[in-house]
């Protein structure tokens, strides 16, 4: 069995379109919308292609219209891109996002999978570093062969006990210094971390056409081109501390 795992698409259809992998099952770990120019097309894709999907904090924020306050960094970009995201989504899109569970357990090929956007104890928001020490306490009591997470936009995999933890990275808004779209394949229980180049100018042109603050357009283009935020109030490595992604 060959499983395609995607997360944090963030309304970037060009990045999504670059993924061309034969697979038997597609799993999506949330944050399909916000930041990027193609929220409707990306929700359509997930609805049509993902066999199972869970809700991300951005999906939740959009469908619940959660209040946002942000003066800089990715919080600011979330606040700025929410109105065009809401305008682009139909009631059907919003119903689909609202119907996503926050966690999902399933069995594939005899293996138990737990799907969650952030962490099992805080499915939407908890930001956890990509290291074993941070994750060990968060998997206590979790009975699964694979725990699949997103949220941090950091691609990694390692084992804790008999559980394989996997974050496929972000399809549409990588933030670790490599602008390529990220995803993962699990084939017969073996994880492959994947990267693929995509038509970044297509995405930046889409952002340019959005009715948002020019400052936000420049920030987003920066992140798309470099895989991190290079200028402004960041520290140059694309990190803003324990900020939801």
Applying CB under 5 A, the residues found at the interface with Fe ion are 8, 31, 245
Nearer to Fe ion, 164 or 167 (CB): 167
Nearer to Fe ion, 19 or 108 (CB): 19
Please, what is the minimum distance in Å from the beta carbon of residue 111 to Fe ion? 26
Which C-beta is closer to Fe ion: that of 108 or that of 219?
A: 219
The least distance separating Fe ion from the CB of residue 141, rounded to whole angstroms, comes to 26
Distance, CA of 167 to CA of 84 (rounded, Å): 28
**Least separation in angstroms between CB 95 and Fe ion:** 21
- Other CB atoms within 10 A of residue 169 CB: 28
Element (H, E) at 116: strand 111-116
Smaller CB distance to Fe ion: residue 34 or 222?
Answer: 34
b or e along 182-197 (b: 16 or more beta carbons within 10 Å of the residue's beta carbon)? bbbbbeeeebebbeee
Task: Say if residues 238 and 77 touch (Cβ distance below 8 Å).
Answer: no
Q: How far is the CB of 150 from Fe ion (least distance, A)?
A: 6
The minimum distance between CB 151 and Fe ion, in angstroms, equals: 6
Closest to 50 in 3D by CA, of 16, 95, 87, 84: 16
Residue 108 or 206: the one with the smaller Cβ distance to Fe ion is 206
Report how far residue 143's alpha carbon sits from residue 113's, in angstroms, rounded to the nearest whole number.
Answer: 9
When the beta carbons of 93 and 182 are compared against Fe ion, the nearer one is 182
Overall residue count recorded for the chain in this entry:
245
3-state helix, strand, coil in the chain (%, to 5): 30, 20, 45
User: What is the distance of C-alpha 139 from the center of its chain?
Assistant: 20
State in angstroms the smallest separation of the CB of 13 from Fe ion: 16
Q: Shortest distance, CB of residue 31 to Fe ion, whole angstroms?
A: 4
Task: Give every strand in the sheet of 25-28, ordered side by side.
Answer: 52-53, 25-28, 2-6, 181-187, 190-196
Given the complex with Fe ion, which of 104 and 167 has the nearer CB atom? 167
Q: What angle do CA 81, 175, 179 make, to 5 degrees?
A: 100
């Amino acid at each position: 069995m060959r499983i395609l795992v995607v997360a944090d698409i963030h309304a970037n259809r060009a990045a999504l379109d670059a993924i061309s992998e034969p697979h038997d099952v597609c799993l999506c770990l949330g944050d399909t919308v916000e930041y990027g120019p193609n929220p409707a097309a990306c929700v359509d894709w997930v609805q049509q292609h993902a066999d199972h999907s869970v809700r991300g904090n951005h999906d939740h924020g959009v469908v619940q219209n959660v209040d946002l306050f942000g003066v800089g960094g990715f919080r600011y970009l979330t606040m700025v891109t929410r109105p065009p995201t809401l305008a682009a989504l139909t009631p059907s899109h919003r119903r689909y996002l609202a119907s996503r569970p926050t966690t999902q357990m399933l069995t594939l090929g005899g293996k138990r999978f737990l799907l969650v956007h952030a962490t099992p104890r805080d499915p939407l928001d908890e930001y956890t570093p990509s290291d074993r020490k941070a994750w060990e306490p968060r998997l206590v009591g979790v009975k699964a062969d694979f725990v699949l997470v997103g949220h941090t936009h950091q691609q990694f995999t390692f084992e804790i006990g008999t559980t394989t933890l996997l974050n496929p990275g972000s399809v549409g808004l990588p933030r670790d210094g490599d602008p390529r779209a990220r995803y993962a394949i699990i084939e017969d229980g073996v994880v492959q971390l994947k990267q693929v180049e995509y038509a970044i100018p297509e995405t930046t042109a889409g952002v340019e056409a959005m009715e948002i603050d020019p400052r936000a357009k420049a920030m987003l283009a920066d992140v798309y081109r470099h895989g991190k935020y290079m200028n402004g109030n960041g520290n140059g490595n694309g990190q803003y501390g324990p900020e939801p992604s």
